[in-house]
Structure 1
Amino acid sequence: MSSEHGLHVMLSYHWDNKELVSKIYKVLKSRNIRVWMDIHGGISFNLFHSMADGIENAAVVCCFMTSKYQSSRNCEKELLYADRRRVPIIPCRLIRDWEPSTWLGLVIAGLVWVDFRDTTDVNLDLKIDKLIEQIRIVAGKKLNCFLSETSPTLQTRPICSNNSSNNLYPILTQMNDISDSNNLVRSTSIDSSSSSPKRSTPMIDRQHQSIDNTNIIPPPVPPRPNKDLIRERLLSIDIKKNSNEIESIDEKKENNIPLRSEKPDICEISYQQQAYTRFIPDVVDLSPLIINNEKKSSGIIIDYSKFRRLPRIIGDDNDEISFCCPSGVAISKTGLIYVADQQNQCVKIIPLLGSKKQILSRPFNRPKGVHVDEHGRILVTEHNRLLILDNELNLLKAIGEHGSKAGEFNVPWGVTTDSLSNMYICDQMNNRIQKFDADGRFLLEWGYEGEHQGQFYYPHFISVSGNRVAVSDQLNHRIQIFDCFGNYHYKLGEVGNEPGQFSCPFGVCIDANNHLVVADHDNNRVQFFDANGDIELVLDQEANPLFNFQGVHGLALTHDGGLLITDYKRNGKHRLFIFA
Structure 2
Amino acid sequence: MSSEHGLHVMLSYHWDNKELVSKIYKVLRSRNLPVWMDIHGGIGFNLFQSMADGVENAAVVCCFMTPKYQNSRNCEKELLYAERRRVSIIPCRLTRDWEPSTWLGLITAGLVWVDFREATEMNIDLKIDRLIDQIRIVTGKKLKCFLQETSNTLENSSGNALYNLYPMLPQMTEKSGHTTSTLIVSRQHQTISNVNTKPTPPPVPPRPNKNLIRERLVDLALIDDKKENNLPLNSRKPDICEIPDQHQADTSSIPDILPLSPSKTNNGKKRNGIVIDYSKFHRSPRIIGDDNDEISFCCPSGVAISKTGLIYIADQQNQCVKVIPLLKSGQPILSRPFNRPKGVHIDEHGRILLTEQNRLLILDHELNLLKSIGNHGSKPGEFNVPWGVATDCSSNIYVCDQMNNRIQKFDTDGQFLLEWGYEGEHVGQFYYPHFISISGNRVAVSDQLNHRVQVFDCFGNYHYKLGEPGSEPGQFSCPFGVCIDGNGHIAVADHDNNRIQFFDENGDVKRILDKEANPLFNFQGVHGLVLTYDGGLLITDYKRSGKHRLFIFA
Q: Which TM bucket (shorter chain)?
A: 0.5 to 0.7
Asked whether the 8 Å contact 1:69–1:75 carries over to 2, the reply is: no
Q: Are 2:330 and 1:275 aligned?
A: no
Structure 2: gaps of 5 or more residues: 12-18, 42-53, 55-59, 66-78, 91-120, 164-168, 186-196, 207-247
Report the AA paired with residue 343 of structure 1: Q
Equivalent residue pairs, number: 410
Asked whether the 8 Å contact 2:358–2:376 carries over to 1, the reply is: yes
Secondary structure of the corresponding residue to residue 433 of structure 1: strand
Structure-to-structure mapping, 1:232-251, within 5 angstroms: none
Asked whether the 8 Å contact 1:267–1:468 carries over to 2, the reply is: no
Match of 2:262 in 1: 293
Q: Are 2:128 and 1:74 aligned?
A: yes
The 3 A distance-change label for structure 1 pair 339 and 20 is closer
Measure, in 1, the Cα distance between the counterparts of 2:356 and 2:503.
Answer: 30
Match of 1:544 in 2: 518
Q: Are 2:548 and 1:577 aligned?
A: no
RMSD: 4.7
Report the AA paired with residue 6 of structure 1: G
Name which of 71, 79, 85 aligns with 2:140: 85
Asked whether the 8 Å contact 2:159–2:425 carries over to 1, the reply is: no
Match of 2:318 in 1: 344
Secondary structure of the corresponding residue to residue 297 of structure 2: coil
Measure, in 2, the Cα distance between the counterparts of 1:234 and 1:23.
Answer: 26
Q: Are 2:64 and 1:47 aligned?
A: yes
Match of 1:510 in 2: 484
Q: Are 2:472 and 1:498 aligned?
A: yes
Asked whether the 8 Å contact 2:299–2:317 carries over to 1, the reply is: yes
Match of 1:558 in 2: 532
Structure-to-structure mapping, 1:249-264, within 5 angstroms: 257=181, 259=183
Structure-to-structure mapping, 1:422-433, within 5 angstroms: 422-433=396-407
The 3 A distance-change label for structure 1 pair 358 and 44 is closer
Secondary structure of the corresponding residue to residue 526 of structure 1: strand
Report the AA paired with residue 423 of structure 1: I
Match of 2:502 in 1: 528
Asked whether the 8 Å contact 2:3–2:36 carries over to 1, the reply is: no
Structure-to-structure mapping, 1:448-459, within 5 angstroms: 448-459=422-433
Measure, in 2, the Cα distance between the counterparts of 1:497 and 1:347.
Answer: 33
Asked whether the 8 Å contact 2:159–2:426 carries over to 1, the reply is: no
Structure-to-structure mapping, 1:53-202, within 5 angstroms: 72-79=126-133, 81-82=135-136, 85-86=140-141, 87=143, 89=145
* Per-residue CA distance 1:117-145 (angstroms, 9 max, x = gap): xxxxxxxxxxxxxxxxxxxxxx9xxxxxx
Asked whether the 8 Å contact 1:381–1:413 carries over to 2, the reply is: yes
Measure, in 2, the Cα distance between the counterparts of 1:39 and 1:364.
Answer: 41
Measure, in 2, the Cα distance between the counterparts of 1:20 and 1:333.
Answer: 51
Measure, in 1, the Cα distance between the counterparts of 2:419 and 2:202.
Answer: 23
Asked whether the 8 Å contact 2:540–2:551 carries over to 1, the reply is: yes
* Per-residue CA distance 1:135-159 (angstroms, 9 max, x = gap): xxxx9xxxxxxxxxxxxxxxxxxxx
Match of 1:419 in 2: 393
Secondary structure of the corresponding residue to residue 507 of structure 2: coil
Asked whether the 8 Å contact 1:2–1:53 carries over to 2, the reply is: no
Match of 2:453 in 1: 479
The 3 A distance-change label for structure 1 pair 17 and 558 is closer
Q: Cα offset for 1:237? A: 12
Report the AA paired with residue 299 of structure 2: C
Match of 2:6 in 1: 6
Q: Cα offset for 1:85? A: 2.6
The 3 A distance-change label for structure 1 pair 550 and 337 is same
Measure, in 1, the Cα distance between the counterparts of 2:352 and 2:253.
Answer: 32
TM-score, reference length from structure 2: 0.63
Measure, in 2, the Cα distance between the counterparts of 1:45 and 1:569.
Answer: 17
Asked whether the 8 Å contact 2:353–2:360 carries over to 1, the reply is: yes
Asked whether the 8 Å contact 1:370–1:414 carries over to 2, the reply is: yes
Measure, in 1, the Cα distance between the counterparts of 2:302 and 2:464.
Answer: 25
* Per-residue CA distance 1:221-250 (angstroms, 9 max, x = gap): xx868979x9999999999xxxxx9xxx9x
Measure, in 2, the Cα distance between the counterparts of 1:226 and 1:375.
Answer: 44
Measure, in 1, the Cα distance between the counterparts of 2:40 and 2:508.
Answer: 47
Asked whether the 8 Å contact 1:373–1:379 carries over to 2, the reply is: yes
Report the AA paired with residue 260 of structure 2: I
Structure 1: gaps of 5 or more residues: 55-66, 90-106, 108-138, 140-222, 240-244, 282-287
Q: Are 2:337 and 1:363 aligned?
A: yes
Report the AA paired with residue 447 of structure 1: G
